[in-house]
């Protein structure tokens, strides 16, 4: 009897243990299923958002055209390419401004076009054809005023190769300091433009002397501006031009500009800086000439690329010159 009771207790214990294990398994399965459902609910995609209206492709953007300036009464515009900043009587050529050589050379022999009032070294001396009449007129008047005609033009336009030969010659003979002060680097010489001449004195005995503005020759420096010429490298502007004093070197810039430069004591570098302070939209620089003429001068900055719309008068005479830097000088004869 005791053995049977012990058997029953043991069977009940085994049964209870089996039930507990089964319950634990069911609970584990239920929790696992619940976790799977919860994860699915969190990650399942929701209902699709309603599609909005289709967005059109962005419209192509046209390049911005340069805006013409607000014109004054009686003015219009003319179109000119940026390359023209390198052309004209007022271009600045120097150590910081290289000369842009033209495809077609405008140079002519001075000897073959001069009057009898001055001399020329040889037939190979050339200048820009446009300045020959002014060169002739200046020396004709000089001869009429003084009776002297021994001024000789020894240099005018120089090609790149001519300037290089000259530079190499003086570098070998005089040294680096000399060429730094007196001889321009090839490509950076004002002589490339054909707008400059170097003068000397050729005496009747066949001797050549350095040009000075002493005695009769002072007439030239006093009156050169009336023919459009200035002494390009004055002794008091060495720090500005970077070139030592050259009393023999004259540059054509046009009458109004030459006389303004002389009146105000400015070299070309300073004068161009002055002109940039007179844009078309603002106040213009006025010059009253001794012959009764009046000129109005203003500056127009060139477009970075393409064409620049230059405001100019419709009825009055005007000239346009680049500055070989970034813009144009417009000179209008108003009277």
**Which residues, 6+ apart, have CB-to-CB distance to 113 below 8 Å?**
129, 132, 136
Shortest CA distance to 151 belongs to which of 90, 228, 237, 224?
224
Whether the CB-CB separation of 309 and 79 falls below 8 Å is answered with: yes
Q: Residue 95: how many CB atoms within 10 A of its CB?
A: 13
Q: What residues contact 95, with CB distance under 8 A and at least 6 apart?
A: 184, 185, 188, 242
d(CA 129, CA 109): 8
Do 195 and 135 touch, CB atoms closer than 8 A?
no
Query: Is residue 246 flagged as an active site residue?
Result: yes
Of these residues, 73, 246, 305, 307, which one is catalytic?
Answer: 246
Contact 229, 252 (CB under 8 A): yes
Any idea of the CA torsion for 75, 77, 82, 88, to the nearest 10 degrees? Answer: -40
Report the C-alpha gap between 324 and 133 in whole angstroms: 24
- Which tokens is 13 given? 């214990």
Report the C-alpha gap between 74 and 55 in whole angstroms. 49
Beta bridge partners of 295: 287, 333
Q: Which residues carry out catalysis? A: 246
């Amino acid at each position: 009897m005791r053995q049977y009771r012990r058997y029953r207790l043991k069977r009940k214990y085994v049964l209870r243990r089996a039930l507990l294990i089964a319950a634990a398994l069911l609970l584990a399965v239920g929790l696992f299923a619940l976790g799977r459902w919860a994860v699915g609910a969190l990650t399942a995609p929701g209902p699709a958002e309603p599609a909005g209206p289709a967005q059109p492709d962005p419209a192509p953007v046209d390049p911005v055209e340069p805006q013409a300036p607000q014109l004054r009464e009686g003015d219009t515009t003319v179109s000119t390419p940026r390359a023209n900043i390198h052309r004209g009587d007022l271009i600045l050529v120097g150590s910081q401004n290289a000369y842009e050589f033209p495809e077609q050379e405008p140079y002519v022999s001075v000897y073959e076009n001069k009057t009898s009032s001055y001399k020329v070294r040889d037939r190979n001396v050339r200048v820009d054809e446009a300045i020959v009449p002014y060169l002739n007129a200046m020396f004709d008047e000089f001869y009429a005023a003084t009776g002297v005609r021994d001024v000789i033009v020894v240099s005018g336009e120089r090609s790149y190769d001519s300037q290089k030969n000259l530079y190499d010659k003086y570098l070998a003979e005089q040294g680096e300091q000399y060429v730094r002060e007196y001889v321009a680097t090839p490509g950076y010489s004002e002589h490339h433009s054909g707008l400059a001449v170097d003068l000397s004195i050729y005496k009747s005995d066949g001797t050549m002397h350095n040009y000075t503005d002493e005695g009769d020759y002072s007439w030239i420096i006093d009156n050169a501006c009336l023919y459009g010429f200035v002494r390009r490298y004055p002794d008091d502007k060495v720090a500005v031009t970077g070139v030592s004093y050259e009393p023999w070197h004259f540059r054509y810039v046009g009458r109004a500009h030459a006389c303004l430069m002389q009146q105000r004591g400015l070299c070309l570098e300073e004068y161009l800086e002055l002109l940039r302070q007179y844009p078309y939209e603002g106040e213009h620089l006025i010059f009253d000439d001794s012959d009764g003429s009046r000129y109005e001068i203003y500056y127009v900055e060139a477009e970075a690329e393409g064409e620049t719309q230059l405001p100019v008068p419709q009825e009055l005479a005007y000239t346009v010159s680049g500055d070989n830097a970034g813009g144009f000088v417009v000179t209008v004869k108003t009277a």
